[in-house]
Chains A and B, each alone.
Chain A
Amino acid sequence: MARGPGGSLARYFVTRLALVVPMLVILLTTTFLLLRVAPGDPVTATLGDRVSEARADAIRRSLGLNRPLWRQYVDYLDHVVHGDFGKAITTNRPVSSTIADRFPATLELTLAALLVAIAVGVGIGALSARFRDTPMDVGGRILGILLYAAPIFWLGIMLQLLFAVKLGWFPTGGRIAPFSEPRSITGLYTVDALLTGNWPALGSALRYLALPAFTLGVAIGGIFIRLVRVNMIQTLKADYVEAARARGIPERQVVLRHAFRNALVPVVTIVGLQFALLLSGAVLTETTFTWPGIGLSLYQFLQDRDYIGVQGLVTFYALFVVVVSLLIDVVSAWVDPRIRY
Chain B
Amino acid sequence: MSGRWQKLKALWASAHPTARHIIVAGAVITLVFVVLALFAPLLAPYGEAQFQGIPQLQPPSARHLFGTTNLRYDVFSRVIFGARLAFEVVVLSTVVAMFIGVPLGLVAGYSGGRLDRALVMVTDAMYAFPSLLLAIVAAFALRRWVGQGVPAAALSISVIYVPQYFRVVRNHTLSVREETFVEAARALGASRSTTIARYIFPNVIQSVPVIFTLNAADAILTLAALGFLGYGVHVPSAEWGYDISKAISDAASGFWWTSLFPGLAILGLTTGLTLLGEGINDLVNPLLRRRGFRRGAAGRHAATTVLPDVVPVEGGTE
Contact = CB atoms under 8 A, between A and B. Distances in A.
Interface of A: 1-2, 22-23, 26-27, 30-31, 34-35, 38-40, 45, 132-133, 145-146, 148-155, 157-158, 160-161, 165-166, 172, 223, 226-227, 229-230, 233-234, 273-274, 276-277, 279-280, 283-284, 287-288, 298-299, 302-303, 305, 310, 314, 317-318, 321-322, 325
A314 B266 contact: no
Given A146-B271, A158-B260, A172-B252, A151 B241 contact: yes
Q: Which secondary structure dominates chain A's binding surface?
A: helix
Given A26-B121, A149-B267, A154-B267, A321 B244 contact: no
A34 B140 CA distance: 9
14 contacts: A22-B125, A26-B125, A27-B128, A30-B125, A34-B138, A145-B278, A149-B267, A150-B263, A152-B225, A154-B259, A310-B140, A314-B137, A317-B129, A322-B128
B225 A132 contact: no
Interface in B102-128: 121-122, 124-126, 128
A22 B278 CA distance: 35
Contact of B129 (A2, A45, A230, A321): A321
Given A151-B266, A154-B263, A302-B230, A288 B133 contact: no
Interface string B240-264: 0100110110011110100110110
B200 interface: no
Given A39-B145, A165-B251, A132 B318 contact: yes
Given A40-B145, A172-B252, A280-B130, 17 more contacts: A27-B129, A145-B271, A146-B271, A149-B266, A149-B270, A151-B244, A151-B266, A153-B245, A154-B224, A154-B244, A157-B248, A226-B315, A276-B131, A280-B131, A280-B132, A284-B225, A314-B133
Interface in B288-318: 300, 303, 305, 308-309, 312, 314-315, 318
Contacts of A299: 229
B244 A34 contact: no
B288 to A, nearest CB: 17
